[in-house]
Structure 1
Amino acid sequence: MAPRVVVIGGGICGLATAHRLVREGLPVTLLEASDQLGGLGTFFESRGRSAERFYHCVMPTDSALLALLDEVGLRESVGWRPTRMGMIVDGAHHSFNSALDLLRFRPLSLVNRVRFGVVSLLLRRLGKGKDLDLMRTEDWLRGLYGDATWSTLLAPMFGAKFGSAFGDVPALYLWQRLGRERNDSVRGYPAGGYKSVIDALRASIEAGGGEVRTSAPVRRLEAGQDRAFVTLDDGETIEAEHVVSTVPLPALRGIADEDLARRLPDVQLPYQGVVNTLFFLRKPLSGHYWAPVLRSGTDFDGVIEMSALTGTELHGGRHLVYVMRYTDRESPLYREDESSIARRWTDQLLSLHKGLTQDDVDEVRTFKAPFVEPVYPLGYLSLRPAVEVPGTRLLLATTAHVYPDVTSWNSSVELAGSVTDLLLRDARRSSTQENTAWPAESAR
């Protein structure tokens, strides 16, 4: 019999891993602690329709994600639209999409506007051949763009993403992000929302004989050289030949038994969480899909006008807007009551968009996630933990492992493929030694 695999975590990485393993004929049990699959792709109901708690989009360069969507019959459902970027600085709104927009961008002097445009066009090329993993983002960008542009625009934007350590993040992370986005204004979104992707993956896993459990938090994980044991909160213990953990390393340490905890990678990687407030509006804002908000009297530092990408039909003719702030899960903002945040951020959104009134706000919801963006230290390529935990049947597939790629559904799907290949190699070796039949690779 093929070895049983337990996948811990029902986000996109866990779902993609279980989907691929089931396609190879392995018995798989996927365990998700919450009552919903999807991780950051979870959703809520509003007026009988679903909406994601956290915003997502598909980039044309997301080849791994698009291939996965193809496998579950959803690739053709992705609708592609050109999107526009804005910039809100000191309360003033700016379009930020063309050379003409840049020339009109008053927060920078004319000389720095020209310099910004030239450097931005060449930035990807300027990083080639440099050891950007060991170069601070601040040192690289300040040297290229100059002090004024760094202080006025770039430092606030990186600070919003990574907190107080923003200048120390390796420049390689930004360079990889440029490779993903490639100045492409076109973005995609599945016709049925990301819930359709999650539902399709679950259906694929279960159709292949896999088991998917929600509301199944893991209390304890033991993993040795020959076997692993996963104990749930209700006391049930599942024996497995392999375990794939997709939960963040801090959470994994909380369930690992003493022996396994000593074997886990000694990487103390800090994470940024996020506070995210959604607005269903009766009219649009600026039409800009994405607009950073700098020094404008708001707690949030970015606005995503999702309906500029998805249209309004998904939400009953209403316009969906996300505003967010990345923050440590121990921060006062993260600990604040959601309803209090929603009231304050509503007032701040109204002050930022003068044509918007309280009557235009149909519904407001606030959500939080504690582990969203790892804050990578310099030289993380040499510190990045291995996927295989030595001396155990445990494999790791977390955001700590996707670097230098950008944290995204695409990089999670790529990681799931790598981990699946490693597990299949080991499982085939074991099956050969036991003279058991193994499904043909052509099943993929």
Structure 2
Amino acid sequence: MSETHVPARRVVVIGGGISGLAAAHRLVDGGAQVTLLEASGRLGGKLYAGQIAGVAVDLGAESMLARRPEAVNLARAVGLADRLCLPAASAAGLYTRGALRPMPTGHVMGVPGDVAPLAACGVLSDAGLTRIGRDAELPRDELGEDVGIGTYVAARLGREVVDRLVEPLLGGVYAGDAYQISMRAAVPQLYEAARAERSLTEGVRAIQRRAAAGPAAGGPVFMGIDGGVGGLPLAVADAVRAGGGDIRTHAPVRRLARTGSGWSVVTEDGTALTADAVVVALPAPAAASLLAADAPGAAAELGTVEYASMALVTMAFRRAEVAGLPNSRGFLVPSVDGLTIKAATFSSHKWGWVAQGDPELFVLRTSVGRYGDEADLERDDPELVARSLADLHTTVGLTARPVATRVERWDGGLPQYPVGHLDRVARVREQVAGLPGLRVCGAVYDGVGIPACVATAHTAADELLGLLATVPAA
């Protein structure tokens, strides 16, 4: 909770995803009078709980990084402490080189610190393993301001490491091109270690030593919520309302304008609101549209952000017919292996609450779509299901037919973080900060995960609370 208390100040939050809701919650706690406007009829954005065959499931994001505290702390703050849960299955696999293999240990986002774990699981060829072993013999690199993680890792350790390890792991987060994704933005600890250590593998080992000695050592990496992470935004919304906040759905914002001492916010139906401050918690294209008049530089920068689309194919099977599935939480698929799916999650193995929803059913889901390679998303829902089933037959021998299927499409769902992303974000924030009472937050700035989104929301809210405490009301 913010220490700054600002009574009777009006703040409009534009956007009802987890970022906007977290900002609204922080502002209400700080004493502000908050109105949140969401264009669609549903709160939560990519956090979306639903059902398949009567079983509760997440149809969007399904877990939170537990080693960052922001999302877990928010869940506790809105009354979900007793519903926080750990994955029931921890092991994960990697389908590559024609076989399902255990995910190797001893890496940072797929970048290895040692050859031994890789040699044991057979992910890389002998030539690839030899290349990693020679990393310490290469001259030390002088890293510039930023570099594509795939480009840098390939130069040091070979393309195999990127294509079969880094790409599927980064793809699970960004659905992006590993060769273009900024190392400084996406894996900052690796960027700093690569600058500080003699070799990349030594940098990975240094990161692992620090992690082993840190306060989160031995703790869970991920955490979920009984009933679905999609319940988090709904609980936050309830807490905002309980604190006096006003939340309106079906309320797209048409115009945002500075009025001298405050802000005017006009919705599509002509409703006009005045505010002392505004938080814009929207994807880049929508934010750029609203900021074009008062912050054209920021709007232009946001207009260059590219997004990846994806689809999640959720299927329910009779449990007796899929008894042979691996007892793991699922597996990743590198794009070089030529399958349609990029990952499969065995939800009934991974989450106890899914398994308990109907002990006779088994729920799993696949994900489809990568940045720059989204042709599969043009297929209709039945074909995406068919392609997923074919790939599951190839990877794990699945022959059963689902009793229910559901396809959820996330068009433009994941912002891309190319080289130079952090500089672009800094330019956006610099111009936005020049406008009194305006802040931005969301997945496009400091990370696409739930904790990162919550952190940007809290920063935006805290800065506004501080400013509102020192200036007259509009």
TM superposition score category, shorter chain reference: 0.7 to 0.9
> 371, 376, 395: which one pairs with 2:439?
395
Residue 271 (structure 1) aligned with residue 307 (structure 2): yes
TM-score normalized with structure 2 length: 0.78
1:208 paired residue number: 243
CA distance in 2, matches of 1:418, 1:93: 42
> 105, 111, 134: which one pairs with 2:146?
134
SS class of match (2:279): strand
CA distance in 2, matches of 1:129, 1:22: 48
8 Å Cα contact 2:309/2:374 also seen in 1: no
1:187 paired residue number: 222
Residue 87 (structure 1) aligned with residue 122 (structure 2): no
After the TM superposition, which of the residue ranges 149-158 and 318-327 deviates more from structure 2?
Answer: 149-158
Code of the residue aligned with 1:83 in structure 2: it is S
CA distance in 1, matches of 2:173, 2:228: 25
Q: How far apart are residue 274 of structure 1 and its match?
A: 1.6
Seen in structure 2, the aligned counterparts of structure 1 residues 329 and 37 have a Cα distance that, compared at 3 Å, is farther
CA distance in 1, matches of 2:223, 2:277: 35
1:440 paired residue number: none
Code of the residue aligned with 1:254 in structure 2: it is S
Residue 108 (structure 1) aligned with residue 150 (structure 2): no
Seen in structure 2, the aligned counterparts of structure 1 residues 303 and 48 have a Cα distance that, compared at 3 Å, is closer
Seen in structure 2, the aligned counterparts of structure 1 residues 309 and 186 have a Cα distance that, compared at 3 Å, is farther
CA RMSD of aligned residues (A): 3.4
Q: How far apart are residue 87 of structure 1 and its match?
A: 0.7
CA distance in 2, matches of 1:111, 1:397: 45
> 27, 32, 38: which one pairs with 1:32?
38
Q: How far apart are residue 336 of structure 1 and its match?
A: 3.7
Q: How far apart are residue 328 of structure 1 and its match?
A: 5.0
Seen in structure 2, the aligned counterparts of structure 1 residues 362 and 176 have a Cα distance that, compared at 3 Å, is farther
After the TM superposition, which of the residue ranges 269-278 and 189-198 deviates more from structure 2?
Answer: 189-198
CA distance in 1, matches of 2:239, 2:284: 28
2:4 paired residue number: none
> 459, 465, 468: which one pairs with 1:424?
465
TM-score normalized with structure 1 length: 0.82
Q: How far apart are residue 422 of structure 1 and its match?
A: 0.7
CA distance in 2, matches of 1:51, 1:189: 11
CA distance in 1, matches of 2:187, 2:364: 28
CA distance in 2, matches of 1:220, 1:38: 22
SS class of match (1:39): coil
Instruction: Describe the superposition over 1:105-124 as per-residue Cα deviations: whole angstroms up to 9, x where unpaired.
Output: 334234644876998xx9xx
2:423 paired residue number: 382
CA distance in 2, matches of 1:368, 1:117: 42
Where do 5+ consecutive residues of structure 1 fail to align? 123-127, 437-444
> 12, 16, 27: which one pairs with 2:18?
12
1:286 paired residue number: 326
SS class of match (2:65): coil
CA distance in 1, matches of 2:101, 2:133: 16
SS class of match (2:151): helix
8 Å Cα contact 1:135/1:171 also seen in 2: yes
After the TM superposition, which of the residue ranges 66-75 and 383-392 deviates more from structure 2?
Answer: 383-392
SS class of match (1:395): strand
8 Å Cα contact 2:256/2:264 also seen in 1: yes
Seen in structure 2, the aligned counterparts of structure 1 residues 111 and 375 have a Cα distance that, compared at 3 Å, is same
Give 1:11-410 correspondences, 5 Å limit: 11-81=17-87, 83-97=90-104, 102-110=118-126, 112-113=128-129, 131=143, 133-154=145-166, 165-176=177-188, 186-256=221-291, 259-260=293-294, 262=296, 264-267=298-301, 268-283=304-319, 285-294=325-334, 295-311=336-352, 312-317=354-359, 318-328=361-371, 331-358=374-401, 361-384=402-425, 385-386=428-429, 388-391=432-435, 393-402=437-446, 406-410=447-451
Code of the residue aligned with 2:300 in structure 1: it is D
8 Å Cα contact 1:271/1:328 also seen in 2: yes
Code of the residue aligned with 2:332 in structure 1: it is P
CA distance in 1, matches of 2:330, 2:260: 48
CA distance in 1, matches of 2:144, 2:369: 24
8 Å Cα contact 2:62/2:228 also seen in 1: no
8 Å Cα contact 2:308/2:414 also seen in 1: yes
Q: How far apart are residue 297 of structure 1 and its match?
A: 4.3
Seen in structure 2, the aligned counterparts of structure 1 residues 133 and 73 have a Cα distance that, compared at 3 Å, is farther
After the TM superposition, which of the residue ranges 199-208 and 309-318 deviates more from structure 2?
Answer: 309-318
2:198 paired residue number: none
SS class of match (1:343): helix
CA distance in 1, matches of 2:144, 2:84: 34
CA distance in 2, matches of 1:309, 1:328: 27
Seen in structure 2, the aligned counterparts of structure 1 residues 345 and 132 have a Cα distance that, compared at 3 Å, is farther
Code of the residue aligned with 1:212 in structure 2: it is I
CA distance in 1, matches of 2:164, 2:74: 40
Aligned-pair identity (%): 23
Q: How far apart are residue 332 of structure 1 and its match?
A: 3.8
Code of the residue aligned with 2:399 in structure 1: it is L
